[in-house]
Homo-oligomer: A and B are copies of this chain.
Amino acid sequence: MELKPTKPLSGFIELTPLQQRCFDCCAARMLDVLRVAGFSYLDLPAIERAEVLTDKDNWDEIETQMFLFQKGDTKMGLRYDGTVGLSRYVAGHLNDLTFPFRASQFSKRYRGERAQRGRYREFYQMDMDIMGIEKMSINYDAEIISVIQRALNSVSNFIGENCVRIGSRPFWDALFDYLGLNAEQKKQVFILIDKRDKIGDQEFANWLNETLKDEKLENEIKSVFTKGCDNFMNKNSNLDAAIRELKEFMELLKQMGVKNAEIDLSITRGLAYYTGIVFEFKLLSYPEFGTAAGGGRYENLASKFSKTKIVGTGAAIGFSRIFVALMDAGKIDLSQFENPIVAAVLPMGDSSVPFAASVVNTLRDENITTVAYLDAEKKFKNQIEYADKIMAKFSIIIGEDEVKSKLLTVKNMATGEQQKLTVADAVKLLKTA
């Protein structure tokens, strides 16, 4: 019989137990930041109706990237982000939720695109959203940014410091209106601005020329990136309002204790549903890993599910993107996760198993991470080798003598030091390990 492949499908992540412990530790710390910030954790289905996933208003590219399938008469697919399910959920529970409603999610997302380096087909994102009915203060946008920074800071010993760049959709909308662009030009220029970071100044200029064929317009747009938005003050009231909002927002971030924040009008977050302030986080030590988190303000989250206008502000942290990429590149120090096992209990012969099992139970009751080697008829040499390989901090050797005397032989695996201890004294020693 031919053996089947043991590698996962390309684009799917499989961590070692060591990496997994670090991944889980970071997720737990960050989720705890969200919990303490009052976000309600939601665990929504990974499968949605196709009609829920594929909205014609959405970016076409997203659709082709989806895992879609049919079961019976029902077309369905795997979610590609956290927003689609959240909007359905909130629209369906308008009367059960208190607004502003803070929601967090941490779940797998799926994209069917061909796997590339650093692009996964199954990956975790951590989402947080604050939603309200009809209207919400821009203060919440600042809070989201503050909470993301707190979450990233909670694992800064692994990923270092972060910075956030702030953009404004209203600024571009007002500028395009002021410059008199038509709808198609607006869309095309917007796509270009979104890509500017990747394609570089020169290509940006070329494409801009291709799109607008009007040097004066092109120069006005390019000047945003050289002279900043101040250049467009006192042109009209919409532009003034957008620029003032952005500047006041930066001041608010400072007052909220957000560090390393700066305006960057090239941040637009694509053609998605954002309508106000938008932002992207990067890791200061690893800018080459790209966006660590991004989000912004939306004005009508659930229009396809409800006539009630749900506004809000939200963001997703590219959790797998950050942690798997950094671990794969050897950038994360995993040493503290290397030996989670405190005690390896080694019974010498099956007659020692009952007492050994009671010792194991006692240690586990005391929250001491303990395994037992229960092929008790194996030689001492095999057993101690096992304790060594799993990097247990202590071995507890239980033979006939120990069963009789109820005194355990406790061996410190780092120093080789061995001592006879009562179970109670062993617990005391191991608790400090």
Contacts and interface: CB of A to CB of B under 8 A. Distances in A.
Contacts of A71: 67, 112
B47 A9 contact: yes
Interface stretch (A213-221, A224-232, A300-308): A300-308
Contacts of A121: 47
A426 interface: no
Contacts of A67: 47, 69, 71
Interface string A226-262: 0000000000000000000000000010011100000
A122 interface: yes
A74 interface: yes
A92 B7 contact: yes
B38 A341 contact: yes
A50 to B, nearest CB: 10
A139 B3 contact: no
Nearest to A303: B1
Nearest to A132: B375
Give the number of copies in the complex: 2
A184 B52 CA distance: 48
Contacts of A132: 375
A126 B211 CA distance: 55
Given A44-B14, A353-B255, A91 B143 contact: no
Contacts of A35: 340, 369
A390 B96 CA distance: 11
B37 A24 contact: no
Contacts of A255: 353-354, 357-358
Contacts of A112: 71
Contacts of A137: 350, 374-377
Interface stretch (A15-23, A165-173, A277-285): A15-23
Interface centre among A41, A132, A139 (most CB of B within 10 A): A139
Interface string A46-74: 11110110000000000000011101101
Interface stretch (A198-206, A327-335, A360-368, A394-402): A360-368
B9 A139 contact: no
A158 interface: no
Contact of A43 (B15, B110, B305, B354): B15
Contacts of A404: none
Given A37-B371, A72-B114, A16 B96 contact: yes
A24 B41 contact: yes
A306 B69 contact: no
Contact of A389 (B98, B108, B256): B98
A45 interface: yes
Interface of A: 1, 3-9, 12-17, 20-21, 23-24, 33, 35-38, 40-49, 51-52, 67-69, 71-72, 74, 76, 88-89, 91-93, 96-98, 100, 102, 108, 110, 112, 114, 121-122, 132, 135-137, 139-140, 142-143, 146, 150, 252, 255-257, 304-307, 340-341, 350, 353-354, 357-358, 361, 364, 367-377, 386, 389-390
29 contacts: A4-B49, A4-B305, A6-B89, A6-B93, A8-B45, A8-B88, A12-B45, A14-B44, A20-B41, A20-B42, A24-B41, A36-B370, A38-B369, A38-B390, A47-B67, A47-B110, A67-B69, A71-B112, A98-B386, A98-B389, A98-B390, A100-B374, A100-B386, A136-B375, A137-B377, A139-B376, A255-B357, A256-B354, A257-B361
Given A8-B44, A9-B74, 6 more contacts: A14-B89, A20-B42, A33-B364, A47-B122, A137-B375, A150-B364
